[in-house]
Structure 1
Amino acid sequence: LGTYYSLVLPYPLIFLAVWLLLLVGWYLVGLPIGPGIYPRLP
């Protein structure tokens, strides 16, 4: 079981890191989340 976890664990960590970078980049660029909805308050 430990071998399985050690083989599988890097994948969700990489997935999490990529999504965090994507969300931070989206926020920094200032793109809308939806139609007319921006991540910052006016």
Structure 2
Amino acid sequence: MGFWYNPNIHPFLEYQKRLEAVKLWAKKEKVRIIYKDEYDLKG
């Protein structure tokens, strides 16, 4: 099991790429991930 929480990645497009990569990896490896999917970086 894993936990995704990474709100300090900038820019937002990089955050989205990394989140998608984690989702693809978790599906491939059959790992359950808990996502705290929030992006609150003000910029």
Q: Using structure 1 for the length normalisation, give the TM-score.
A: 0.49
Question: Whose strand fraction is larger, Structure 1's or Structure 2's?
Answer: 2
Q: Which has the higher contact order (CA 8 A, sep 6+)?
A: 2
Question: Whose helix fraction is larger, Structure 1's or Structure 2's?
Answer: 1
Q: Using structure 2 for the length normalisation, give the TM-score.
A: 0.48
